[in-house]
Amino acid sequence: MQARGLEGGTMSHQASGAKVTRSRPFVKWAGGKRQLLNVLAVNVPEKYDTYIEPFVGGGALMFELLPKQAIISDINAELINAYLVIRNNVDKLIRSLARKNNKEVFFYKERAKDTSLMDKVQRASRFIYLNKTCYNGLYRENSRGEFNVPFGDYQNPAILDRENLLNISAYLNSSDVRIYHQDYKQTVLLAKSNDFVYLDPPYHPLTATSSFTKYSKGDFSDNDQIELSEVFTALNEKGCHVMLSNSNTEFIKDLYRGYNIQEIEANRAINCKGDKRGRGLFEVLIKNWS
């Protein structure tokens, strides 16, 4: 049975026999869906076989639904390594995070480390630590692929959220969740009829300069959005339930003409510096069913 609706963070249900508690993302993530969970959860199909999220990011919807069978992927290697370490080695990860602190000098030392010399647990620990302590939880790399977001200088960042990491680990270990570091186009090849595919790609910019669409080397261009709409149609023809989030722009609505398009209220930066925020129908939720 799939969980739908939101009643706070304490609901638990059975996944493969083990009791699993609803979790939340272990990273702050640009475009993360925690604010929109109310809207998303009521739009999830009643029944489906496998939950597939090819642009998983922080995985807000998956951690809300806790599907028993899932396939998730992302192009960001450090993010996917962190999911795998939480599943395979959470105790060591917790011990490593417990040794980190929120001092500026420590942050820059950690940021400067060469990840190719680190093991998987050290890399996951560094990734989560930098996400919690850097400016705005952004993930940005320079042309050499090095993380380059500055220190956030927050009062009390939750560097180690032990309970949530343990909950996530319990969920990933008691359910059939396949986790891949790969392009979304590889992941959608695994979809079968009656699966539910939630596509949450980097958003089409509302204005030429307003949106953050860079999560690792490479951008998501207009051509990528066009290709994605073709993938959406192919999944529709395969008999999947397909749901997609994106910006509320004419370009996007044109690409998905003929599908069920809902305009969604969301918060957005409303000036070009991003320091003023407003609420409006800035997003769309597109489904291939009513």
Q: How far is the CB of 95 from ligand SAM (least distance, A)?
A: 26
| 76 and 140 Cβ atoms separated by less than 8 Å | no
Instruction: Single out the residue of 59, 93, 106 nearest to residue 79, CA to CA.
Output: 59
Would you tell me which residues interact with ligand SAM (CB under 6 A)? 25, 29, 31-33, 54-55, 57-60, 73-76, 183-184, 200-202, 215-216, 220
Nearer to ligand SAM, 195 or 283 (CB): 283
Min CB(257)–ligand SAM separation in Å: 22
- Shortest separation between residue 209's beta carbon and ligand SAM, angstroms: 18
Q: How far is the CB of 54 from ligand SAM (least distance, A)?
A: 6
DSSP of 201-261, one letter per residue? PSPPPSSTTT----SSSS---HHHHHHHHHHHHHHHHHT-EEEEEEE--HHHHHHTTTSEE
DSSP result, 90-124: HHHHHHHHHT----HHHHHHHHHS-GGGS-HHHHH
Residue 66 tokens, joined: 């806790």
Q: Give me the least distance between CB of 33 and ligand SAM, in Å please.
A: 4
C-alpha 225/C-alpha 202 separation (Å) is 9
Choose between 24 and 92: whose C-beta lies nearer to ligand SAM: 24
Q: Which is nearer to ligand SAM, 57 or 67 (CB)?
A: 57
4 versus 95: smaller Cβ distance to ligand SAM: 4
Closer residue to ligand SAM in complex, CB, 99/178? 178
The answer to whether the Cα torsion of 124, 169, 198, 8 is positive or negative is negative
**Which is closer to ligand SAM, CB of 25 or CB of 67?**
25
d(CA 267, CA 251): 20
**Measured from the CB of residue 217, what is the shortest distance to ligand SAM in angstroms?**
10
The nearest distance, CB 73 to ligand SAM, in angstroms, is 6
Considering the complex, state which of residue 152 and residue 202 has its C-beta at the smaller distance from ligand SAM. Answer: 202
Half-sphere exposure of 22 (CA within 13 A, CB side): 16
In angstroms, the Cα distances linking 165 to 90, 120, 159 are 7, 16, 11
